[in-house]
Structure 1
Amino acid sequence: METNEIYRGRLIDHIQLVVADLAASRRFYEAVFDVLGIPLGGSAKDYFWADELFISSSESEAAQGHLTGRHHLAFQAGSREMVDAFYHAALAAGGTDNGAPGERAYHPGYYAAFVLDPDGNNIEAVHHGAAVRSAASIKVTF
């Protein structure tokens, strides 16, 4: 697997999902990544990846023959319109509705949509509104 850039100081280094049908998952995630403006980082016959999300088949060496369980992943969206586009693209690419776009009570301005990917993972796109600081403004010292 190639690495374009390594970021230090993040809570999550990477996430791997091992899926039952890699082709179905690739169709789903490529559609979602397209509307969120996230480029595919690379792929091979048994995996693909974007940013810090690595998705592989159970035949992949990294998977060791086991599917992962159900997970919740939330992708940041740049606007409410992007959340709406995520939701529609995900459904068109084989996702299942798990919460239509709308405001949530987590904090003021939290606008999100939820879909289940082909393996039942709960995938969310969220726009936090203008009141939340960006990660670039947070200083981390080690």
Structure 2
Amino acid sequence: METQELHRGRLIDHVHLVVADLDASRRFYTALFDVLDIPIGGSGESYFWVDELFVSTADSDAAAGRLTGRHHLAFQARDEAMVQAFHRAGLAAGGTDNGAPGLRPYHPGYYAAFLLDPDGNNIEAVYHGPATRSAASVHISF
């Protein structure tokens, strides 16, 4: 996967999370994205990025000196096994369980798992089932 590829026409261009402990967040997100087969795009002393997700410290040039607060990010998985692996990897990398892998009532076939990252963001992996699978995207709830 090209890590600096420009994707025009997407609803979301990028998401920026400002975190309290960059090392803890880097461990957590690296573990998750290894399972989701998405490479780390790059990093520096005060930031790292993965696809359209940018994570930094409050001291980074990109931040306004404040943490971003709690968000919900949902990443699409290829299948139920990937959702399960996402959950296991996130727990092992310092995440907190916020909903074990399983079917959810949002629509038939919605299989998801939820974790809280080191800053309390609700991070989800979802597989929509073979009949309703759509293009890969990031879902954000505020």
TM-score for both structures, normalised by structure 1: 0.92
SS of the aligned residue for 1:56 comes to strand
Take 1:33 and 1:103, find their aligned partners in 2: how far apart are those partners? 22
Aligned with 1:94: secondary structure? coil
Matched residues in 2 for 1:68 and 1:110: separation?
A: 28
Deviations 1:11-62 (A, max 9, x none): 1000000000000000000000000101000000000000000000011011
Give 1:133 deviation, angstroms. 4.6
Residue identity opposite 1:6 in structure 2: L
The CA deviation at 1:132 is 1.7
Offset at 1:126? 0.2
- What root-mean-square deviation, in Å, do the aligned CA atoms of Structure 1 and Structure 2 show? 1.2
Secondary structure of the 2:62 match is helix
- Sequence identity (%): 74
SS in 1 for 2:81: helix
The answer for the alignment partner of 2:10 in structure 1 is 10
Question: What residue is the counterpart of 2:130 in the other structure?
Answer: 130
Higher strand share: 2
Unaligned stretches of 5+ residues in structure 1:
137-142
Greater C-alpha Rg: 1
Q: 1:6 to 1:43 in 2, by over 3 A?
A: same
- Write the letter of the residue equivalent to 1:98: N
More helix by share: 1
Aligned to 1:37, the other structure's residue is in SS state coil
- TM-score normalized by structure 2? 0.92
The one-character-per-residue Cα deviations of 1:59-84 (angstroms, maximum 9, x if unpaired) are 10110211001000000000100000
How far did residue 88 of structure 1 move? 0.4
Q: Match of 2:140? A: none
